[in-house]
Amino acid sequence: MPVYRAPVQDSLFLLNDVLAVERYANLPGFANASPDMIEAVLTEAGKFCEEVLFPINQSGDLEGCTRHDDGSVTTPKGFKEAYKAYCDAGWTLLTQPEEFGGQALPHVVGFPVEEYRMAANQAFAMYPGLTQAAVAAILVKGSDEQKATYCPKMISGEWGGTMNLTEPHCGTDLGLIRTRAVPNGDGSYAITGTKIFISSGEHDLTENIVHLVLAKTPDAPDSVKGISLFIVPKFLVNDDGSLGDRNALQCGSIEHKMGIHANSTCVMNYDGAKGWMVGEENKGLAAMFVMMNAARLGVGIQGLGQADIAFQNAVAYAQDRRQGRALTGPQDPQEKADPLFVHPDVRRMLMDAKATVEGLRALCLWGALQVDLAHVAETEEERQRADDLVSLLTPVIKGYGTDKGYDVATNAQQVFGGHGYIEEWGMSQYVRDARITMIYEGANGVQAMDLVGRKLAQNGGRAIQAFFAVIDGECARAKDNEALADFAGRLEKANGELKAATMWFMQNGMANPNNIGAGAHHYMHIMGIVALGSMWLMMAEAAGKALAEGRGNKAFLEAKLVTARHFAERFLPDAGSLRRKIEAGSEAMMALTPEQFYAA
């Protein structure tokens, strides 16, 4: 049977020793986040995820959601009770503003909690996760009345939230949206159209569901410039805040899909449903992007969560299962075979997993800190720098993070041999659940294009220059430390490959834009490697310092140093080969006709 242990020790190491969040105690929100408080929150969250969410992960996968003839949807056994316990314990409130009932803790404290719940039960975690993203959009773009009407109940978890972009003919290319919004003359709109693949579109966990829907008004340009965003609640809300009539929308069906079975993926039919515009007309995409940016970081955390739970179980299995003998001679001569753990190839998979999971965890928390600093840092310059960095790294956290999260999950499954393919062990579910993270919230190819096609050039390349400066600064500082000098030299080299790839795009992208598209995925991966490299450098420095001062768990800290070395030896060199792929350009990639691709 699979197990889950929340990685509280690692989260605390990152928050206290690596990111040293205590130094921001003067900033709004951070004052509430003392080390003791953080430890208490993460310990309780870990316990909740281990004891309440994880036990219904496998059963939820087996049972899935059920749609009834009246369009209602029932979540698997135990989900309703777990959701109530989740809300009662206040887990929906952590990072939300105090004026709407939240606890206003920094995101850097909320992210580990999100990771634990994603790892313990991704399908469950998506229900409150989407609500959180919808709240983010209403808080930034909604009117005061909309905030007052919807945010308190969504933040408390009494009402859910969804995001409705996709239509049957329209996925990545949102300019193709056909859903219509016709003014009713009273400030509301009649929304008509069909949305597909809507996560948490209908379920039995909350008394109301607030759908955020992209649609076009009658005279809007028929392109991305003509999209507006609307709040379309399942039940209309009376002036006194109570629930009124049922709105004209329904779940037409739910999808039978590869993973996340316990999260309802719905076809949503809007038949003149009443909706209210959020923000300005034709500026809906910008409003939805507030939600999508929050959700993209959230999906990066899903990739991390699935990688972590798969990795944990693979480590346990490799110690238990006995096959063959160590290449260097029997390790347990009294037994007929040694544990899988002795085989270097099994170690390769486990060490790669450890280096990736712990590196991604650091990057996600570093990203969360930038989200906080972008809002509350003392100076405009600091806020802008943090905003530049997190917006540059968001496609990397989502795209690279979920590509690698899936790799880790399949490698962890590989450690189980044939047993990994059998549902009972749980590994198959982690692989299936991880797979969607590479597809939704903008498929990873689109994340790579967002990075290379949009983010690199924004504001004259200000963000990428800031990123290079961060890495260069860290390497220069670390080179003075004998224990870190080798790592710093290798990271500097990988950063040099990233700089060269950036320059190659500048020189070869204008003449042939396909050169950008052909190298975008590789570029996103080089940046992921460099970003994780910088995290490992910071972790090695913090671990070395704690060891020298005789603080902390010695075995845990020593493992950090060894894993940093593994990352330097086995991950950083890939930056060079990825750069060479980029420099090969697009000629061969784009040369064949469709007929030449497959000749039977």
Q: Residue numbers of the site for ligand FAD (CB under 6 A)? A: 163-166, 171-172, 197-199, 257, 265, 436, 439-443, 445-446, 449
Q: How far is the CB of 492 from ligand FAD (least distance, A)?
A: 32
Q: Which of 202, 441, 474, 492 is catalytic?
A: 441
Nearest distance from C-beta of residue 86 to ligand FAD, angstroms: 20
Tokens read off for 137: 């959009």
* Shortest Cβ 184–ligand FAD spacing (Å): 24
Provide, rounded to whole angstroms, the least separation between the CB of residue 304 and ligand FAD: 18
Residues 6 or more apart whose CB falls under 8 angstroms from that of 112 comprise 8, 11, 15, 42, 45, 365
Nearer CB in complex with ligand FAD: 412/448: 448
Query: What is the rounded distance in angstroms from the CA atom of residue 112 to the CA atom of residue 115?
Result: 5
Which CB, 112 or 305, lies closer to ligand FAD?
305
**At what angle are helices 35-48 and 107-120 packed, to 10 degrees?**
20
Shortest distance in whole angstroms from residue 125 CB to ligand FAD: 14
Q: Please measure the distance between the N-terminal and C-terminal CA atoms of the chain and give it in whole angstroms.
A: 45
Shortest separation between residue 257's beta carbon and ligand FAD, angstroms: 6
Q: Which is nearer to ligand FAD, 141 or 343 (by Cβ)?
A: 141
Q: Is 202 a catalytic residue?
A: no
199 or 228: CB nearest ligand FAD? 199
Instruction: Name the nearest CA neighbour of 415 among 525, 311, 497, 336.
Output: 311
Other CB atoms closer than 10 Å to residue 230's CB: what's the count? 25
Do 129 and 291 contact (CB within 8 A), yes or no? no
Q: Which of 8, 255, 266, 254 is nearest to 119 (CA)?
A: 8
What is the full DSSP assignment across 486-532? HHHHHHHHHHHHHHHHHHHHHHHTTT-THHHHHHHHHHHHHHHHHHH
| Cβ distance to ligand FAD smaller for residue 13 or 124 | 124
Give the DSSP H/E element, type plus range, for residue 432.
helix 427-437
Nearest residue (CB) to ligand FAD, 96 versus 199: 199
Three-state SS string across 334-355, please?
Answer: CCCCCEHHHCHHHHHHHHHHHH
Tally the C-alpha atoms within 13 A of residue 480's C-alpha that lie toward its C-beta. Answer: 4
* Residue in the shown chain whose Cβ atom is closest to ligand FAD: 171
Q: How many CB atoms lie within 10 A of CB 71?
A: 15
Q: What number of other Cβ atoms are within 10 A of residue 192's Cβ?
A: 18
Smallest separation (angstroms) from ligand FAD to the CB of 197: 3
Instruction: Take residue 422 and report the two structure tokens written for it.
Output: 């059998």
Q: Give 198 or 353: the residue with its C-beta nearer to ligand FAD.
A: 198
3-state secondary structure of 471: helix
Tell me how far the alpha carbon of residue 244 is from its chain's centroid. 35
Residues forming the active site? 441
